[in-house]
Structure 1
Amino acid sequence: MNDRLWLWVVKGLPKRALSRLFGKVACQGWTRHFIPLYIKRYKIDTSELSKDIAEYAHLTDFFARQLKAQSRQVAPGEDRVTSPVDGTVTGFGKIDGHRLIQAKGRDYTLEELFRGAEEKAAAFLDGQFLTLYLSPADYHRVHAPVSGRVTEMVYQPGTLFPVNGRGIRLVERLFVNNERVTTFLSTHFGEVAIVKVGAMNVGSVKVAYDENVQTNRKRKKGKKRTYEPPVAVRKGEEIGWFEFGSTVILLFPRHTVTFLPDLKPGSSVRMGETIGRVLNCEGGI
């Protein structure tokens, strides 16, 4: 299918309704019989699973699978920024004022990304960003890239375009039109934003620090929560998960973080690996 036809088809689909339907179907017990096929199709390493294949109740249970503790090592040191997910780098670099690059010729603003909490944009002007894509084959849990305290969460409803390479290249303002949940983390070097972007066939996005957050519902109403006291998290600690693959965007303030020189679009990363360093790190949170 050529790009023009693909975009026409995707724009015409009832993406939210289809994703809700997919989420409901994938939670049915009979779907567990498809887990072996899924494992074979995506070449998933079953030695990393935290439980036996037969113990998964349904496909969603497997999509959101946890891994054995020893299967991912989190790089030590408060000066190291680690990957929050298993995924592929699709974009990174300097935030140009308040503009971030989605793909060549396509950008979006901090205010658009933080809709519902636009006042947060000022902290990230001229900062750094990193976009990571989680494919259906990847481990779907999201972990803290640095230690800190969760101070605020913003849920912004939206559409659910695919966030694969084609979607990033063809869909205008993809990340600010899609549904998303943003976690704001207070750290010893400033505020960090972790944006979990929903996508087509993502049943929902969950956060570990607040069981009341519900996404992809019929009511398109955003939600903003401030946590008092803030919720402390250590680097590598789980903060959320996708019930299918999607995208995570990390944002850091100006002059606080530098990414590793060998990081580039197309690079594969695993949760806990070093992806950057904190400048002038003094430690602690």
Structure 2
Amino acid sequence: MSPVTALTYALPHRLLSSLARRLAYSTHPRVKQWLIDTVIRRFGVDMSEAAEPDPRAYPTFNAFFTRALRPGARTPDPDPGAILMPADGHISECGHIGRAGEGVLHEDAGHIFQAKGRGFTTAELLADAQAAAAFDGGVFATVYLSPRDYHRVHMPWTGTLRETVHVPGRLFSVGEDAVGSVSRLFARNERLVCHFDCDFGPMCVVMVGALLVSGVETVWSGVEIPPYGGDVVRKDWRGRGITLERFAEMARFNYGSTVIVLLPRGVAELDPALYARAPVRLGQRLARRLPA
């Protein structure tokens, strides 16, 4: 564990993220432009892909960070059986979700691999053991979004929103060192769990917050995080008719972080080209739908 990661255990996570949020929404011309220019220069942001390529046209740093792409900058895999990558970034980890008694990763049901032998369970991630059981033996993919990436998250498959769960937690960094050294990191950070009903059954997309990058906004209800939670908050969306098509925008990170996709057993096989640290782009194949 690096000294910086060790220090984050003692830092006031939510206070720092709140201060960073104030900077992100500042309309002060010099402040917002310094932030935008610094990120473009340091991380090599390709502004030619943006719907608005002029960095000075954005009223705030957050407007730049959540910028839309120009039409055609990303396209979905043409195979109608492809379950899609939900975001730009790189794979943190992907694989099978443990199923008790079958020796998949670990013998404990619902185990998801994090890094360097560390992991957590779907019950911990979703804060719901009953909902988690539907994904035992299924597959998962964890996608890390860096500051240079497009920060909107799109639907891997067509689904109808059933429930969202705002799970309170810490706001550890989700950088490589933290992922490799902070136990159960993704199941400890503040997150928004989005449950969808699809033609193959349930699908879960989890928006995980992180230190300084903890804002989550959805297309159906606007800003969800912050406020930061003290208790688990569930919202029932059944009967509202909120159906989002494959590749449609579903949410965005107001400052970025990590998205985790969970699929049930027997539904899909992960694309064999995916591996830890593989760069990925929105719309490419995440998995291939198996015949019913």
Under TM normalisation by the shorter chain, which class is it? Answer: over 0.9
**1:244 maps to which residue?**
255
- Once residues 37 and 108 of structure 1 are traced to their aligned partners in structure 2, the CA distance between those partners, rounded to angstroms, is 35
1:24-35 equivalences under 5 Å are 24-30=22-28, 31-34=31-34, 35=36
Q: Secondary structure of the residue that 1:254 maps to in structure 2?
A: coil
Within 5 Å, which residues of 2 pair with 1:209-228?
209-211=220-222, 213-217=223-227, 219-227=229-237, 228=239
**Is the CA contact (8 Å cut-off) linking 2:214 and 2:257 kept in structure 1?**
no
Structure 1: state its 5+ residue gaps.
none
Structure-2 residue corresponding to 1:94 = 96
Distance in 1 between residues matched to 2:249 and 2:170, nearest whole Å: 26
Counterpart amino acid of 1:83?
Answer: M
Structure 2: gaps spanning 5 or more residues = 100-109
**1:53 CA displacement:** 2.3
RMSD of aligned alpha carbons: 1.4
1:276 is matched with: 287
Classify the secondary structure of the residue corresponding to 1:229: coil
Segment drifting more, 50-59 vs 244-253: 50-59
| Residues paired across the two proteins, number | 277
Compute the displacement of 1:232 (Å).
Answer: 0.7
Name 2:116's counterpart in structure 1: 104
After TM superposition, give the deviation of residue 78 of structure 1 in Å: 3.4
Q: Give the AA of the match of 2:74.
A: R
**One-letter code aligned to 2:123:** E
The alpha carbon displacement at 1:4 in A equals 4.9
Identify the residue that residue 167 of structure 1 maps to in structure 2.
178
1:177-216 aligned at under 5 Å gives the runs 177-211=188-222, 213-216=223-226
User: Among the aligned pairs, what percent are the same residue?
Assistant: 34
In 2 relative to 1, CA 229–131 (structure 1 residues): closer, same or farther, beyond 3 Å?
Answer: same
Cα distance change on mapping 1:275 and 1:219 into 2, 3 Å: closer
- TM-score (norm: length of structure 2): 0.91
Question: Is the partner of 1:255 in helix, strand or coil?
Answer: coil
TM-score w.r.t. length of structure 1: 0.93
Correspondence for 2:66 among 59, 64, 67: 64
Partner amino acid, structure 1, of 2:44: K
> Structure 1 residue runs of 4+, over 6 Å off?
none
User: Partners of 1:203 and 1:179 in 2: how far apart?
Assistant: 8
Contact 2:8/2:172 (CA < 8 Å) preserved in 1?
yes
Superposed displacement of residue 261, structure 1: 1.2
